[in-house]
Structure 1
Amino acid sequence: MTHHQLTDQTKPSPTPVRQLALRFSGTRRGARLARRFAVQQFTEWTGLPYDSEPARAVVLVTAELASNAIRHGSLPGRDFRLTLLLLPGRFRVEVTDTRPERLPPPRAPRPADTTSGRGLLLVQAYAGRWGCTVRDAFTKTVWAEVLLSTSGS
């Protein structure tokens, strides 16, 4: 069962230029470390500075996906996996958790109140495309791709 948003399913994804995956604890600390690690790898692989728009987008997207994995996709004692891929023209952030039955909605929902519910709206705003894939009965992966340039490459 697969659920995609904002994707062209007729084209296969190109082979990544670079790829790295790590597990983090399903805690706020784990989410913070994942966010820091993602932006560090982004700047190392792309040569773009920490204060560039794409780097800021990577920070925000990683923070939201990791936070959602902990809040909505975590079982007690289970970690989440962060996978980073440098693809031609874009940087892909994937967060895999242990709740495949809890899929994100097909469209980013309107905020339920003034203090929460904006995460997927932010991901949608900062990512070139994003979606969710379930490949087995035990995990789901929510991913987002940040464009390396703001000119739409």
Structure 2
Amino acid sequence: MGQLRTSPPPPQASELERWVLDSPEDLRGLRAWLREALNRHGLVQGEDLDEVPHLVVLVATELASNALRHGRPPTLITLLATDDQFLLDVADHDVSSVPELTDISPTDSGGRGLFLAQSVSLDVGWYATDKTKNIWASFSR
């Protein structure tokens, strides 16, 4: 077990898009909205999604699922960008808990979202505001 590094995302990141999720049923829409946003902001070239956008959608789904399951609604998903990275920020309204990397066994059905984010993104961190607990992950552009 362990904790994520406490750190806000890079300060030069600017917000591109934001979505609000109220229930797990909203996850399918999130995947489509993210793909559209990545195309609209020039983060995906051509018709086929390359690996990075696919990973952004995968990590967004995992982190949003965690937030919907363990946090307090609504869950806020924000896509941000810097010159060479884009960032995914997932927030819920449970500021009383700290994100933890828990030990999981191969037979566990959940609990892999933070591990997945750490393994496929450039960097992962978390921070809290007065109203939200945020987990972010960065990816190459």
TM score, norm. by length of structure 2: 0.82
Partner of 2:12: 14
Partners of 1:5 and 1:51 in 2: CA distance: 30
**Per-residue deviation, residues 54-90 of structure 1 (Å, max 9, x unmatched):** 111111110011101101112xxx3211111122111
* 1:22-78 deviations in Å (ceiling 9; x for gaps): 2121x111222222212221122123354201111111110011101101112xxx3
Other-structure match for 1:111: 104
Note the residue ranges of structure 1 that are not aligned, 5 or more in a row: 149-153
Distance 2:76 2:10 in 1: 23
CA-based RMSD of the aligned residues comes to 2.4
Aligned to 1:101: 96
Separation in structure 1 between the aligned mates of residue 10 and residue 114 of structure 2, nearest angstrom: 24
Q: Note the 1:1-153 alignment, pairs <5 A.
A: 5=5, 13-16=11-14, 19-25=16-22, 27-45=23-41, 46-49=43-46, 50-74=48-72, 78-105=73-100, 108-114=101-107, 115-136=109-130, 138-148=131-141
Segments of 4+ in structure 1 off by > 6 A?
none
**C-alpha distance in 2 between matches for 1:130 and 1:101:** 20
Name the count of aligned residue pairs.
136
Q: Within 1, Cα distance between the matches of 2:78 and 2:97?
A: 20
For 2:62 and 2:121, the matched residues in 1 are separated by 12
- Identity of paired residues, percent? 27
3-state secondary structure, aligned to 1:30: helix
Distance 1:87 1:6 in 2: 20
TM-score by length of 1: 0.77
Cα gap change, 1:147 to 1:110, in 2 (>3 Å): farther
